[in-house]
Each structure stands twice: as structure tokens, then as C-alpha cells.
Structure 1
Amino acid sequence: MSTNAKSTQLKSLGAVLALLAFAQMIIAIDYNIVFVSLPEIGSGLGFSEYNLQWVVSAYAVAFGGFLMLGGRATDLFGRKRMFIVGMALYAISSLVGGLATEPWILVVARAVQGLGGAFLAPATLSLVMALFKEGAERNQALSIWGAAGGSGMVLGSILGGVLTDAFGWPAVFFVNVLLAGAGVIAAWVLIPADPPSARGKIDLPGAVTGTAGVTLLVFALVEAPARGWTSSFVLTTAAVAVLLLGVFIAVEARSSAPMLPLRLFRNRNLSTGTLITFSFMATFGALAYFLTRYWQGVLGYSAWTTGLAFVLPSASVLIGTVLGGKLSTKFGVRSTLVGALAVGAAGTAVLALVAGPTSSYLAIAPALVVLSVAQGVVFTTMFVAATTGVEAADQGIGSGIATTGQQIGGAVGLAVLIAIATSVNSGGDGNTVMHETTVAYWAIAIGIAVTVLVTLNFRQRPPAEPVNGADAAGSLDTVETASEGVQPR
């Protein structure tokens, strides 16, 4: 290949990576942007206090429930096609959400946004895996992709407050119409065409039972804190979910073209990586909830001030995502994960010690920076680890499995931590909230420390062994052949 051709290819890959990072930023923005707007949404559309949670929960249930289907559709029908479908669903549902005049319309729109995320997330991640060689090149690409997610967290917190104050709550949805619409156009132009072979047939029995089972499981986990873990509704829903998932596994074991090939779980890195993504969201992912309770319920911050308070930890996560790729390339994925998790556990423990009813923001800032940088490093590196060794034809479903673990972990972790925190005592005064958040910080620190032990199950290839012609220092040891990438046009 000539020097000019190589330069053109690199520029093309750079433009595609920028688009994939942009998509990850949209997903992060969409998750965070509604939180500050919830009180105005509730009063504007007449939500009850209980039903208002479904502005958030409808998104989480649909996202988590349809991720495996979205991942397999990416493998069968093409990464570019599913990327565009996901972006288009974001744009359309955001428009409907901004125009909503009834609570149920907004809840449905949020569910469709979650569906869009379930197609967009695995398509985006599998494109990164397919286009960039395993090792240093892929680690760097994932750092940029993860950094975009970190910046989306910052933008989501700030935009939610600014847009709501200036234009009202519909603006937090209308801004996504513009962003996602631009993403559809850019994807049509920049993303390499799907190969002709990227077509197939969905395993309908597996798709129905698997999607229904996961959706009901996430639904039960979301409802459990409000209805009670032992309520007949939650127990019945969970039992039906487990039954459907059992049927799903039986169907997949006998299918000639399964939606979820069970052989993937023989890849120790994918199985372990999914546990890591689950644990990451169950621990690090829950910190934002308890920080919000601490700042508003104990220190008396307003919603706008709370949004500003999140800028420092969110920016630190952004720095960590950039460092994650560099560290995993230099020291190896497993070593980087173990180190980052240990630092994150220590930072969270320090936060539990220094956060008090009279603590200033500056007093807790060092702990926030340390644990947030560690969080960013783990976020990037856990996806490098989880998808290593997954064949190119299965990258979509592999990404979907890892991301499903992430979504379910968020629901389970928050519910369990709330139950632990509120079990220590009752009441709602500042001292009680302070005690509950302290208990939650310690529980999170312990959970992160336990995750270190899970991480030791990863396999790691010796640094001297090459992968795809690249430095293998950041790779694991299950891949024997190069992943088949999509070539830019």
C-alpha cells in the first residue's frame, strides 16, 4: 500500500472513530440529562411521585432487555445498518418525548430511546473491535471511545440544568434530535459498508424467550425497591423471568443458528469480563446516586449546584478513560484492572472516612478525583478484556453480552445498596441520610475490592507474543487468529 493510501485510510479510520465516540457520548448524555429535569417533568406532565421513576426506569428496562437481540442483529444484519437504526430510534423517540403531553407518551418515548441504545451500543463497540487491531491500536481507540462517554456524563449533568432553566424540560429531549440526526447522516457517509455476508436470520424462539426473560428480570429488579423484595408481584415476575431464561438456554443449546451461541461462554475472558461489567455498575455505577443524596440531602446543594459538583468527578473519569488504554498497553489488561480496582476501592474508603455533615467540597475532592480516575481506567479496560478472543462474526453479540452485564449490574447494585443503606436505621433527617450514605460508600468499597479477585480469572498473554502484528502488551491470551476487520472504503 502506498504512503498516500495509508494516510487516507488512517484519516478515514480517524473520522469513523470520531463518529463512534460521538455515539457513545450521546448514550451517556441521554442517560444523565433527564435527572436534573425530573421535578419539572413531574409537575409539567402530572406524574405521580411513584410513576416519575419510570422516566428513568423505562429507558433502563428496554436498554437492558434488548441488548442481546441488538448485539445479534448487529452480527447478522451488519454493524452499519444497526448503528443507523439505533441512531434513528434515538432521534425519533427524542422528538416524541419533547412533544409529549401525557405521562404515558413520555414513558413510551423513553422506552424506545432504550431500544435505540440496545441496538446502538453493541454496534458501536463491535465497530471499534472490528476496525482496530487488537493490542495498542485497539486500546487507544477504546480510550477515545470511553473518554467520549466520560465527556457525555459531564455534558449531560450540565446540559440538563442549563436547558431546563432556559427553555423548559422538553429541551433536554429536543437536543438529542439534533445530535442523533447528525449521527445518522454522518454514519451513512463515514462508516464502511457492511459486507454482503452480513445478512442472516434471527433465531425467533431464542429472540423472544431471551429478550422477554432479560426484560422481565430487569423490570423486577427496578420495581423491587419500591414494591418490596418479597412482594408477590416482584417474586412472580422474577420467577417468570428465570423460567423464560431457562427455556432460552434450552432453545439455544438445540438451535442450529442460535441468537446467543453458548460456545461463547467457553471464552473465559468474555465470561469473566461480563462479571466485571456487572460488578463495575453495581459499585462504581451506584456512586452517583449516593453522592447526589449526600450533596442534596446532607449538605443542602440545589439541583444546579449538584450538577456542577459532578463536573470534577466526571472530568476525572474522562482522564481515567484516556489513561486506561495507555496503561493496558504498557502493563497488560489484567494488571491494569487489578491496579485500578485497588485504587478505586481505596479512594472510596477514603471518601467514606472524610465525607461528613460539615465537610466542604474541597475536603472530599481528592478522594473523588482518585476513585473517579480509577473508574475511568476500569471502564475502558474491562471492555478490552471482555471482547478479547471473540471472533469477528460474534463481536456484536459479544459486545451485547458484556453490555447486558453492565445494565443488569446497575439495576441490581443500586437496589441492593439502597436496601443495605436503609436497613441501618429509619427516618429521613440529615443525620440519617449521612449515616446511610456512609454505609453505602463502605459497601461499594468492599464490592470493588471483591471485584479484584474476580479479575484474577482473566487470562493474559505474555507481553512478548505478538497479536495482529501489533504490540500485545495490552492483550489477553485467547485469540489465536486475527479478528477480521471491516475495511474502510
Structure 2
Amino acid sequence: MSTTRVRPAAAHPAARAVPERLSGRLKLVLGVLLVAQFMLAVDFSILNVALPAIGDGLGFSLSNLQWIATAFALSAAGFTLFFGRIGDLIGRKKMFIGSIALLGLSSLAGGLATGPGVLLAARVAQGLATAAATPAGLSLLTTAFPEGPLRQKALGASGALMSAGFTAGAILGGALTDLLSWRWAFFVNVPVALAVVLVAPAVIKESRPAERPRLDLPGALTVTGGLLALVYGLTQAGAHGWTGTPALSGLAAGLVLLAAFFLIERKVSQPLVPPAVLGRRNVAWGNVFGLLAFVTETSLVYLLTLYLQDTLGFSPLEAGVTFGVLGAGTVIGGLLAPKVIARTSTSTALVAGGLLQAVSTAALLFLGTSTGTSLALLLPATFLGGIGNMLVIVGFMVTATSGLPDAEQGLATGLASMSQQVGITMGTPIMSAVVTAAGGGAATASAIHHGVTVAIAANAALVLLGVVLAAGFLHARKPAPRSAA
């Protein structure tokens, strides 16, 4: 690739000059946003292996233990799009710093909790902070880095740390619970949040649309209610099966409210999600790919956790450490993705990454019950699958946020963040329901192994669906070369 410096084309006076290298300030901006993104991703998985210890310590019944995860997931997924628009109204920098402060305070409260009520309230607050910080942080990133190679590199680094954070959460949660206490799974956020809150005001510039939009309250209420009901239905399906009344009622209410949301958006003067934006091929399909990417890879971690602990007999810490290979793959994938996109196109990155992830996931169908031979297959498969998944995630982020002015970046990143949060939330209950159905509800090692195998096949099929959609509905888009004036 040529490295010749060029001037922006004179034919487009409104276009900003695109820097070729990260300045010192941009490096600081990226560093602050990446640290926050990593912390937010860690929170999605850090308590997974600590749930039994929390239940014993605070007196949660077995049936209510799921609410520790569900309380966080409901608020994190349900309010993302709403808070994305609030950030447009009050300023994304203010929203980002305020939400990180809330995350630190709620984490402190969770670590000090002496009963279920306080801990669940802390988890709701953590979820709300995540729902606000994720789109605000992503908007600050896309507006700070102009569209092109620098933004692709920034999104690649963000995606890599986000996926690595989800994996690191499982490792860190197991280590903290085994070596110290489950309370440290909360306390670990406090110093990081404090550092971000202290540094961000001096580093990050405020970002908001030139024209302050009105808040589409009917649209905000229906989309938030619809997402809350949908996520609730999915979590109940994972815990109690798809035919239970809570699951069916939640899913039905979610679909009705989301249908009402789309009808409202067609009629209001300043919709929360303008139909014209959703009509953009890159925005609509980009978010579909993102949803599938997060559904498949995060739920695969859950499936392999079941396999490692219930089939191979690994401890929580041993299972968490095993996922370090997957984390390494995601970091490498995040570094490779911008180069792949620059040399080819976003659609090529999506298709190639999806194929690599699908093949790697399908290879896991041959996992057996012997530790040595199983790890010889699992480790390289998860490593390569992590690379492929990160190509898809960065491709999705670039696709879903490209070709839009800064005024619409809050909406675009809010949609992308919503796809991310809902995908992370949906994956585990969907695959949990598949495991339960395939295993006949039995808890024996052989039944769980069979159920996990069937769920892995379903997981690979979803990845292939994304590949087919990317190949069929996205035209190859190679970044326009910056020719000399």
C-alpha cells in the first residue's frame, strides 16, 4: 500500500482533512475510551462463575439466582437506544463521564451489599450505566476519528478489547472468586471508573449534533419497553423453557411493542430512529450482522463453559483460563480487521470472518470426553474462531456507522450498541434452551455433552446465515482511495 502523503481534494471544500497518523491527543482519547470499553465488556461476564458464591453469601434461592444476571441484562439492553438519543440532547461527553461515574458507584454498592435487594439494585444501576456509556463512548470515538483508515483502526482496537474483555471477565471472575471473594468482582471496577472520570474531562471534547433534536417520547417508551419485554422473555426461555408463560408473554409483549415503535416512527416529525436511516442498506444489514456476531460468540463461551466444567470436570478458574486462547484470537482479529478492510472491503471482511468463525465453530462438533484430545481441538478452534468473529464485529461497526454525518452518529452508534447489547443478552438464553431441549432436561454429563453439541451446530448455522446475508445483501465496498489533488 502506498504511504504517500496527499492533500484532501479541492472539489470538496466541506470535507475535513483526514490525518494519516494518530496525534498525541487522539491517542489519549482512544486510550480513555478503550479502557472504559474494556471495563464495560468485562462486566458482562465477570459474575458468571461467581453466581453460586454470591447466592451462598447473600441468601439467594436457586430459582432467584438468575436475576443477578437478568437485572443487569434487562437494563443494559433495554435502555441503550434511549440513552443514545439522550446523549445527543445533553452532550455525549457528559453522558459518558456521568455513566462511568454511576458504574463506579454502583459497583461499590454491589461489592458492599449485605442482602439480595441492594445487590439487585446495584446490578440494575450497572446495567443502566452500561446502556448509557456504550453508545456515548462509541459516538465519541466515531466523531473524534474521521471516516477512513484511522476510524477503522480505532474501531478494530475497540472491538478487540470489547471481545477480549468479555473473555477476560470469565477468567478474572474465576480468579477473584477463588482467591479473594466474589465482592472483588464488583470492587475491581471502582479504581478504573475513577481514573476514567478524572482523565476524560481534560482529554475528550464535547460532541453533539449542530441542531438539538427533540426527544421522541412515544418512540422511546415503546422501543425501551419492547426491548425489556423481549430480553425478559428470552432470559425466561433460557431458564424455564420456551413454552412457559413468562417466556411466551414476554416475547409476545416485546414483539407488539416493537411493532408499535416502527409504526410510531413513520408518523412523528422527529422520530427516535428515522425510517430513512434504517432504509440505508449499510445501517440495516450492518446491525443484523452485528446481532448475529454477538449472539454466536458470546453464547459459545457459555456452551464451552458447560462442556469444560460438566463434561471434562474443570474448575471455574481452569475453565476461565482456557478462554485466554480465545481472547488472544480476538485481539489478533481486531488488529487484522482494519488491514483486511483497507485492502479489500467491509463485505469481504464480513464474509471471510464469518466463514472462518463458522468452520472453527463446526470443528467443535467433534469434541469428545477425553481432556487431552479435546483441548487439542478446542484451543486452536477457539483461537481461529476469535479471529473470524472479530473480523465480523469490526466489519459490522464500520458498515453500520459509515456514510453518516456527525449529527447522525449518535443514532448510528446507538443502534450498533443496541445490537451488541441485545446480541450478548440473547445468545446465552437461546443456547441454554437448545441445550435443555436436546438433553431432555437431564443434568448428567452425557446429556449435557449431547445438548452442547446440538447447540454448537445451531451456533455454526447462525454464523453461516450471517455469511449468506452479507454475501447477498451487501455490495462490495472498498474504501475510496485518497488520491492527490
Query: TM-score, length-normalised on structure 2?
Result: 0.90
The equivalent position to 1:419 in structure 2, one of 414, 433, 436, is 433
Q: Structure 1: which 5+ runs fail to align?
A: 472-489
1:139 equivalent in alignment to 2:155 = no
The more displaced of 293-302 and 248-257 is: 248-257
- Compared with structure 1, are the counterparts of its residues 408 and 147 closer, same or farther at alpha carbon in structure 2 (3 Å cutoff)? closer
1:274 equivalent in alignment to 2:287 = yes
Deviations 1:296-346 (CA, angstroms, capped at 9, x unpaired): 000000111111111111111111111111111111110111011111111
- Compared with structure 1, are the counterparts of its residues 326 and 277 closer, same or farther at alpha carbon in structure 2 (3 Å cutoff)? same
Corresponding residue for 1:332? 345
What is the CA–CA distance in structure 2 between the aligned matches of 1:304 and 1:195, rounded to whole Å? 43
Segments of 4+ moved more than 6 angstroms: 6-9
Q: Structure 2: which 5+ runs fail to align?
A: 1-6, 8-18
**1:243: Cα distance to partner?**
2.7
Deviations 1:332-374 (CA, angstroms, capped at 9, x unpaired): 1101110111111111111212x10014223432222211221
What is the CA–CA distance in structure 2 between the aligned matches of 1:66 and 1:424, rounded to whole Å? 33
- Compared with structure 1, are the counterparts of its residues 160 and 396 closer, same or farther at alpha carbon in structure 2 (3 Å cutoff)? same
Corresponding residue for 1:409? 423
The more displaced of 167-176 and 239-248 is: 239-248
The equivalent position to 1:390 in structure 2, one of 397, 404, 410, is 404
What is the CA–CA distance in structure 1 between the aligned matches of 2:483 and 2:257, rounded to whole Å? 43
- Compared with structure 1, are the counterparts of its residues 89 and 191 closer, same or farther at alpha carbon in structure 2 (3 Å cutoff)? same
1:356 equivalent in alignment to 2:371 = no
The equivalent position to 2:274 in structure 1, one of 261, 272, 280, is 261
Q: Does structure 2 retain, via aligned residues, the 8 Å contact 1:97–1:170?
A: yes
**1:76: Cα distance to partner?**
2.3
What is the CA–CA distance in structure 1 between the aligned matches of 2:336 and 2:395, rounded to whole Å? 10
Q: Does structure 1 retain, via aligned residues, the 8 Å contact 2:80–2:417?
A: yes
| Number of residue pairs the alignment of both structures matches | 463
Corresponding residue for 1:37? 50
Corresponding residue for 2:90? 77
**1:184: Cα distance to partner?**
1.2
Aligned residues: percent identity? 37
Corresponding residue for 1:370? 384
The equivalent position to 1:455 in structure 2, one of 470, 475, 479, is 470
- The residue type paired with residue 455 of structure 2 is A
What is the CA–CA distance in structure 2 between the aligned matches of 1:7 and 1:437, rounded to whole Å? 46
The equivalent position to 1:441 in structure 2, one of 432, 437, 456, is 456
Query: TM-score, length-normalised on structure 1?
Result: 0.89
What is the CA–CA distance in structure 2 between the aligned matches of 1:396 and 1:102, rounded to whole Å? 38
Corresponding residue for 1:485? none
Q: SS of 1:254's equivalent? A: coil
The more displaced of 194-203 and 157-166 is: 194-203
Q: SS of 1:34's equivalent? A: coil
The more displaced of 250-259 and 7-16 is: 7-16
- In the TM superposition, what are the counterparts of 1:61-72 in structure 2 within 5 Å? 61-72=74-85
- In the TM superposition, what are the counterparts of 1:29-428 in structure 2 within 5 Å? 29-194=42-207, 197=210, 199-353=212-366, 355-360=367-372, 361-426=375-440, 427-428=442-443
Q: Does structure 1 retain, via aligned residues, the 8 Å contact 2:21–2:150?
A: no
- The residue type paired with residue 184 of structure 1 is V
**1:132: Cα distance to partner?**
1.2
- Compared with structure 1, are the counterparts of its residues 406 and 196 closer, same or farther at alpha carbon in structure 2 (3 Å cutoff)? closer
What is the CA–CA distance in structure 1 between the aligned matches of 2:420 and 2:243, rounded to whole Å? 25
